[in-house]
Structure 1
Amino acid sequence: MANSDRIEQYRDSFVSYLDSRTKFGEPQNLYQPVQYILGLGGKRMRPVLTLMTAELFGANHKMAMDAALAIEMFHNFSLVHDDIMDDAPLRRGKTTVHEKWDVNTGILSGDAMLILAYQFLENYPPEVFKKLTMLFSQTALEVCEGQQYDVDFETRDDVTIPEYLKMIEYKTSVLVAAAMKMGAIVANASDKDANAIYEFGRNLGIAFQLQDDYLDAFGDPKTFGKQVGGDIMVNKKTFLYLKSLENASKENREGLLHLYSIKPEDSTAKVETVKAIFEESGAVEETKAEIKKYTEKAFATLDQMNLPEENKQALLQFGESLMQRNV
């Protein structure tokens, strides 16, 4: 079966399990927002990774359903609270929870989701449960740390590249890594293999986020799925921006700092000027090189795994398909 068919199968199987396990009762004002955010769809990438990894390490993917559910519940909890912090009106094209209900509902329903995420892990035997919850707690805390770094960076003009990489690792990639490692834990993989798959997910997650930064500025509007230039409009200090500041001529550097201190009504000219500085400074090439570096780091971990060759190939294929967005 082709990799994409299998991933589709995991997704369908997960969504029907999600529906069956998230039928909540009273009070409706607590649980309706939970069902609403979970029902907004999305790619379900993280739970699919949990199921896929469990199967690659020799378990039936159904054994990993509750771990996948915990990951998806936590991910959506973080989105509800992030949207409150960002005062975001939309999520996946639909009204955000705090806008549809109110901020207090968003806070409380989010809290409930975090607790529900842990409850799903209670269905595993004690030894597996302990490993899963230790990883889950560590990851949840790192996601909070990543979010705080992101908030701090908004008001700092001395953010370094290593700090930025740490922020995207904690905010985005540790959850991808944990999703994969949880699949390995459920399948009773060795610690060595579980750690190797974690590193695979962590490095691929960083590469994916760096690619997102790149596509935000230079992607094809038809296929990217988000507004191209969105990060530039809101003065988001991405890898491209930080590299440009590091490399640009004095004149371009001052121009960039000025452009990132304003938010014009019509930002077309600003976006074009910033993109020209990104290219001129060599930041575009360096960003592509960084994406390649982290993708290769992810693939290098496959050699450390005690897996059949065809399973390693499946992971390689998955990584390549993830990174073959329109760069």
Structure 2
Amino acid sequence: MNPAVFVDALQNELQHIQYGQNPLELYEPIRYIMNLGGKRMRPLMTLMSAYLFTDDWQKAIRPALAVEVFHNFTLMHDDIMDQAPLRRGQPTVHEKWNHNIAILSGDVMLVNAYQLLLDVEADKLKRVMNRFTRTAAEVCEGQQLDMNFETRWDVTEAEYIEMIRLKTSVLLGYALELGGLIAGVDDETTRHLYEGGMNIGIGFQLKDDLLDVYGDPVKFGKQVGGDIIANKKTFLLIEALEKADGALREELNDWLNQAEFDKAEKVQAVTAIYDRLGIRQSTEERINNYFDHGFTNFDQIRADPDRKNLLIQFARQLVERES
């Protein structure tokens, strides 16, 4: 199976989803954000997961898109909370329209996600809905923890990993689990799917933290060092705060406490501190550890080797990405 078949199936169905028509101001922002693109990796994972166990993977298309609609709903509301001006290089919904419209349109997207999940066969629907509801709540828990961290300087690595597990990784885990649930596989298999997606998701977010500091600006697609400029509590900063002492700790704290600074100079200086502390290497080790756990989960899934290889190769693209 060529992965493009899954991509085309998702894109075709996306063009036919009816979110609603009137009032225009309520529904146009939904069509706008859904047409901004993105990797679509979550619904792709759902289809690949279903394909592991059934030729009738097409029945997973609309439920897979429920995950994508929900993901974009969280982005729409996150952008409001972050006061972000751009999303995928285009104005965010609250900038293009206003905050109230973005809140209400996001609410409708959440409703639409549930509507799309109703395409699941009746005997599997309750379990799919229960798992989705729990996952959706966990994503919100992760977002709240992320906001809590903004005013804390004592965030531990364990707390940070738990935050990104909830905010980012559980939805990747659910996307894979969903394909298995739709295909009707056993509990052990769905557990391996979920845990594999979750481990890959944690590694994915840690890779994002790493690329923000060490990525190629052209390939990364956004300003390198943005997290350093904003004093964002990433794995790299938390690791540096735990390792630094003496004069190096004083230098790091000085940059963190400066209200006015040259952005390029701060990025260069903090990156140099990371280099001296070996932060890049320790972050890469942690990333590889989570990716290895994820692939171990996939290895334990009993499925056709060729079909499983399709999923594994897609996951490896996430591991090796530079943007």
| TMscore range, shorter length | over 0.9
Say how many residue pairs are matched: 323
- Aligned twin of 2:238: 242
* Letter in structure 2 aligned against 1:118: Y
* Letter in structure 2 aligned against 1:35: R
Deviations 1:168-206 (A, max 9, x none): 111111111111111111111111111101111000000
Deviates more, 1:242-251 or 1:190-199: 242-251
Shift of 1:58: 1.7
SS of the residue aligned with 1:21?
Answer: coil
- 1:128-277 to 2 correspondences below 5 Å: 128-264=124-260, 266-277=262-273
- 1:1-327 to 2 correspondences below 5 Å: 1=1, 6-22=2-18, 24-264=20-260, 266-326=262-322
Deviations 1:114-164 (A, max 9, x none): 011101111222221111111111110010010001001010010000000
* Letter in structure 2 aligned against 1:315: L
Deviates more, 1:193-202 or 1:222-231: 222-231
Contact 2:9-2:61 within 8 A present in 1 as well: no
* Letter in structure 1 aligned against 2:32: Y
Shift of 1:260: 1.8
Contact 1:22-1:35 within 8 A present in 2 as well: no
SS of the residue aligned with 2:119?
Answer: coil
SS of the residue aligned with 1:158?
Answer: coil
Aligned mates of 1:262, 1:132 — CA distance in 2: 49
**RMSD over aligned Cα, in angstroms?**
1.5
* Letter in structure 2 aligned against 1:293: N
Normalised by the size of structure 2, how large is the TM-score? 0.96
Normalised by the size of structure 1, how large is the TM-score? 0.95
Using the aligned pairs only, state the percent identity.
47
Contact 1:203-1:294 within 8 A present in 2 as well: yes
Aligned mates of 1:264, 1:256 — CA distance in 2: 15
Contact 2:243-2:277 within 8 A present in 1 as well: yes
Structure 2 gaps, min length 5: none
Shift of 1:302: 2.3
Shift of 1:88: 1.0
Contact 1:80-1:110 within 8 A present in 2 as well: yes
Contact 2:177-2:191 within 8 A present in 1 as well: yes
SS of the residue aligned with 2:94?
Answer: helix
Aligned mates of 1:173, 1:50 — CA distance in 2: 14
Aligned mates of 1:180, 1:68 — CA distance in 2: 9
SS of the residue aligned with 2:16?
Answer: helix
* Letter in structure 2 aligned against 1:111: D
Deviates more, 1:303-312 or 1:29-38: 303-312
SS of the residue aligned with 2:257?
Answer: coil
Shift of 1:263: 4.8
Deviations 1:20-72 (A, max 9, x none): 01352211111111111111111111111111111112242211011111101
SS of the residue aligned with 1:313?
Answer: helix
Deviates more, 1:67-76 or 1:118-127: 118-127
